[in-house]
Structure 1
Amino acid sequence: MARPIADIIQANWRQLASLARVVWDELTLDELIKSGGDAQKLIGLVQTRYDMTRSDAEKQVMSFFERHRTT
């Protein structure tokens, strides 16, 4: 049975946080690590820091998660 993407992302978040830092360079590595790979927290950070709609931030975060999913 496949693991949900959220579980996979959170389990690998410490490694993925540095990749997320490249994508969202206005976020600090500390902020990214503290988000724990939680999609809702990350969406909120991206939305606030980049002054975008929640929908746009969600699209970016979900796209990042899909690109970096591992099993």
Structure 2
Amino acid sequence: MKLKGDWNTAKGKLKQQYAQLTDEDLDYADGKGDELVGRLQNKLGKAKNEVVKMLNDL
């Protein structure tokens, strides 16, 4: 998974939408998208496809 655009802006939107997310939860490095998706799945209790769609829609 490759995130488009400014990740810092996207991170801010996610933190506004989901107050329970921490900077650690949203830590993203190129090539580590699957790890990010996994952390968000666990934290938000969403399916992988829901998390991927949410990230792509940012």
TM-score, length-normalised on structure 2?
A: 0.61
Residue of structure 1 equivalent to 2:39:
45
- CA-to-aligned-CA distance 1:9-36 (integer Å, 9 cap, x gap): 5xx11111011113332211x121x224
* C-alpha distance in 1 between matches for 2:36 and 2:3: 15
State which structure, 1 or 2, has the greater radius of gyration over its C-alpha atoms.
1
| Equivalent residues, number | 56
Alignment gaps of 5+ in structure 2: none
**Which protein has the bigger helix share?**
1
Question: CA contact under 8 A between 1:13 and 1:36: conserved in structure 2?
Answer: no
- The structure-2 alpha-carbon separation of the partners of 1:43 and 1:7, relative to structure 1 and needing over 3 Å to count, comes to closer
- How far is 1:43 from its partner? 1.6
Alignment gaps of 5+ in structure 1: none
- Provide the identity percentage: 18
